[in-house]
Amino acid sequence: MTKLILIRHGQSTWNAANKFTGWVDVPLSKLGRSQVIKAAQKLNPYRVDVCFTSLLIRAIETAVICLTEYEEICGGKIPVLKHQADDPYWHGWDKYEGDKSQELPIFTSMALDERYYGDLQGLDKAQTAEKFGQEIVHEWRRSFSVRPPGGESLEDTLKRTLPFFRHRIIAHLKQGDSVLVAAHGNSLRSIIMELDNLSEEVVPSLELATGVPIVYDFDESGKATNKIILA
């Protein structure tokens, strides 16, 4: 069976500082890199044909470490970032044409970016709870449809993540490719909500640890049949 491997990025420097991160491009911490190296060890028995990640460096770092720590994971191929020509900051990045038989594509997309936390980005979570009240901050963070000030709800995130998952990622699984998706807590919650048939009430409380792979088996019809968490 083909495999879908989901992994939330390793701990970032703002995870460590307990700050709201969202779309701020924060790198992995030293602990985060260590977490991903351990994840790569657990993924060593698996093989990946194609990778998807967000535009944010903490997810890209996670993908690259997973694919390069043990060359068996990508069959000895070289991971190559694939850019979109319609990117507003396009510099001809998509013009590279290498030996596709020796390279493993990593497709980046904002559809897999973390939930946008708006005015909360960069704020300390504990101090924010003291300022606005724990109940309202908990609702901003954990409800399905309530947005933080100037930001996205989990429902908003799902509306951009799921169409991409159904159109781009499922297509690879149906053609027999095993796929690695390195992304974020909320974009991955959106995907898992669909795969595990979770309700709107349950999914916001779903906890995804940093740097822990989740492996799904997929049949030929593109349906998930089994799930393993490599904790």
Give 154-179 pLDDT, tens digit per residue: 999 999 999 999 999 999 999 999 99
Residue in 9, 61, 172, 184 annotated catalytic: 9
Is 130 part of the annotated catalytic residue set?
A: no
Residue in 61, 114, 172, 184 annotated catalytic: 114
**What pLDDT, on a 0 to 100 scale, did the predictor assign at position 89?**
66
Helices within the chain (DSSP H only): 13-16, 30-43, 57-68, 125-132, 134-142, 154-164, 170-174, 185-195
Residue 88 has pLDDT above 70, yes or no: no
Domain spanning 2-229: CATH 3.20.10.10: no
pTM over the 0.85 mark: yes
Confidence of residue 220 (pLDDT cuts 50, 70, 90): confident
| DSSP, res 120 | G
**What pLDDT, on a 0 to 100 scale, did the predictor assign at position 100?**
79
Is 139 part of the annotated catalytic residue set?
A: no
Residue 80 has pLDDT above 90, yes or no: yes
Sole residue written with tokens 């980046």: 108
Q: What share of the chain is helix, strand, coil (3-state, %, to 5)?
A: 40, 20, 40
Please give the share of the chain, as a percent, with pLDDT higher than 90: 87
Confidence of residue 67 (pLDDT cuts 50, 70, 90): very high
Closest by CA position to 117, among listed 160, 84, 153, 162: 153
Residue 20 has pLDDT above 80, yes or no: yes
Structure tokens at 95: 């013009």
Confidence of residue 145 (pLDDT cuts 50, 70, 90): very high
Confidence of residue 222 (pLDDT cuts 50, 70, 90): confident
Structure tokens at 164: 């991409």
Average pLDDT of the chain, as a whole number: 93
β-strand partners of 51: 106, 180
The residue-averaged pLDDT of 22-31 equals 98
| DSSP, res 160 | H
**What pLDDT, on a 0 to 100 scale, did the predictor assign at position 86?**
67
Do the Cβ atoms of 131 and 201 come closer than 8 Å? no
Do the Cβ atoms of 1 and 22 come closer than 8 Å? no
Residue 94 has pLDDT above 90, yes or no: no
Please give the share of the chain, as a percent, with pLDDT higher than 70: 97
**What pLDDT, on a 0 to 100 scale, did the predictor assign at position 221?**
84
The residue-averaged pLDDT of 178-190 equals 97
The residue-averaged pLDDT of 139-143 equals 91
